[in-house]
Structure 1
């Protein structure tokens, strides 16, 4: 196979391709139209672009074929859709750029999307966000549900899109750039507790897969595997990808929150002292 064959979609989805094109288009136009002083740095632009591209790659290239016929590749696909891609996108903070574009073409768009904002506020409650984030992993890896999802084209797309969208919601809650000291965003301590809980719960699931004596996901026996890999090894690798990288990302997220908390705590403490001295 040529490089082009690997880059072309295995299962072409016009809706998926159009969605990614619109996201990149909105971001690019907003970036070009923003004043120079308001534009993000090159690192943030790179993080957003990379996050979007790797999510697209696992959904609309030959990678998707291997994800449907190898369990460990499938777990790698969801690792990118639910963790790595959304983390990069959330850390890049693309919303001000996309919002800038919307404000230019439709100044009243915020009123139109207000009902969606109410739904968003509910989904971003810490316990609900944690339940959805971990619950979706457990749900799609429940053996009977996973069997049906891998054999149904429509259910397979619902599974992948739900993982991506939920990942974006969760990691935006965690990496929301607004400082909790002066906004209504979730406090850093609660963010770290949510991350710790998510990491532990994913480790339980991954350990169950790794140490299962029987074949948990026999759908790959029914459909055949893309490579002649021993089924037990495939399941072992998939289980390891279910808990080791996500746990590491939870730890990384906690470290980033600690760094941000110390930086902003000192910043607003000094600001408060300055205001107090000025008032006196």
Structure 2
């Protein structure tokens, strides 16, 4: 079996994997993704504090949601787990599922777009930022990025296309492409989640039924991928077939764990988003009925009143005859 090797500025653990080693504060030489998450959290918190100091409301729940997503990225991509993810299929799958399924809902529920539009100054350096944001929201590229015909295939290609085409063995042995893949996983997860649960101003909005269709289209294919991985009798990714000897890892047993994660852990966020969509759908329907009843109480129903008058006229004419 060949020795494990990966090009680039990486730190590889020497001890066998354990929970304490996974959570140990061992940063990679270039912790790019944790640094980006930290910056995003700082900018978001600065915007929220600005609104609060100005006496303008901003939801603490949204703030906690976004910061939780940033903290999750920092832990999953910045602790010792990142080092083991360089050579273990199960850990890499856990990271991928976290970036694509668990983190995006936390970030999207924080409504960072709305916060940026409210907190960014409309003069000096803030004006180009707002113009760029509004261009992205109104452009055809923004509509394309969150269109189901683009974001659902992109989301599924991150699993089927990546592992079944041989791209994994080509890209994973290099640190730069490895980190690029992790960023792509996060981006595809955000693009999939935004049209489903985002409250930010979007270039187009799906109906609640359309959102449910997208969720149901993803869930079985996602679970089926996990079943394929668990049923495989040989390594699906040759790169993970030769982990460092000091880790004492059985590659096939590790692959079975990766498949189980794809089947179980990957489904939980989808179910929670489905419940969120159903609750929001019911709430919007209730608001619509309440608004309609208030309108009837204040303005009446002209069409129904005219029809009742017509029936009354017919009844009066019959009585006269």
TM-score scaled to structure 1, two decimals? 0.88
Relative distance call for 1:87 and 1:112 in structure 2 (3 A) is closer
The separation in 1 between residues aligned to 2:229 and 2:129, in whole angstroms, is 46
Aligned pair partner of 1:98 in 93, 116, 122: 116
2:44 is aligned with 1:27: yes
Instruction: Pick from 242, 254, 260 the counterpart of residue 222 of structure 1.
Output: 242
1:158 aligned onto 2:175 = no
Q: Do structure 1's residue 136 and structure 2's residue 153 form an aligned pair?
A: no
Contact between 1:69 and 1:226, CA under 8 Å: does it hold in 2? no
Structure-2 change in CA distance of 1:11 and 1:141 (3 Å):
farther
Question: Does 127-136 or 225-234 show the bigger shift?
Answer: 225-234
Query: Any conservation in 2 of the 1:10–1:60 contact (CA below 8 Å)?
Result: yes
Rounded Cα–Cα distance in structure 2 between residues aligned with 1:44 and 1:169? 19
CA displacement, residues 180-214 of structure 1 (integer Å, 9 cap, x when unaligned): 9xx95211111111011111111121111110112
Segment drifting more, 102-111 vs 188-197? 102-111
Picking from 64, 72, 82, the partner of 1:64 is 82
Q: Which residue, out of 202, 222, 238, partners 2:222?
A: 202
The size of the alignment, in residue pairs, is 275
Q: How well do the aligned residues superpose, as a CA RMSD in angstroms?
A: 2.6
Secondary structure, aligned partner of 1:214 = coil
* Aligned ranges 1:53-92 → 2 under 5 Å: 53-92=71-110
**Structure 1 counterpart of 2:303:** none
Equivalence for 1:261: 281
C-alpha spacing 1:169/1:225, structure 2 compared with 1 (3 Å): farther
Q: Deviations over 1:61-112 (max 9, x none)?
A: 2211011111101111011111111111122323222332323551353333
Closer, same or farther: CA 161–179 of 1 in aligned 2, 3 Å: closer
- Number of the residue aligned with 1:171: 193
Which position in structure 1 is the counterpart of 2:294? Answer: 274
For residues 189 and 179 of structure 1, what CA distance do their matches in structure 2 show?
A: 19
SS at match of 1:38: coil
Q: Does the CA contact (< 8 Å) of 1:8 and 1:61 recur in 2?
A: yes
Q: Which segment is superposed worse, 110-119 or 121-130?
A: 110-119
More helix by share: 1
**How far apart in 1 are the matches of 2:285 and 2:126?**
37
Q: Which range is displaced more, 84-93 or 111-120?
A: 111-120
TM-score normalised by L of structure 2: 0.77
Question: Is the Cα contact below 8 Å between 1:136 and 1:163 reproduced in 2?
Answer: yes
Aligned equivalent of 1:251: 271
2: CA distance, partners of 1:18 / 1:151: 22
Match of 1:69, SS state, is coil
Flag structure 1 segments of 5+ consecutive residues without an equivalent: none
Q: 1:28/1:125 Cα in 2 relative to 1: closer, same or farther (>3 Å)? A: same
Question: Is the Cα–Cα contact under 8 Å of residues 196 and 251 in structure 1 kept in the other structure?
Answer: no
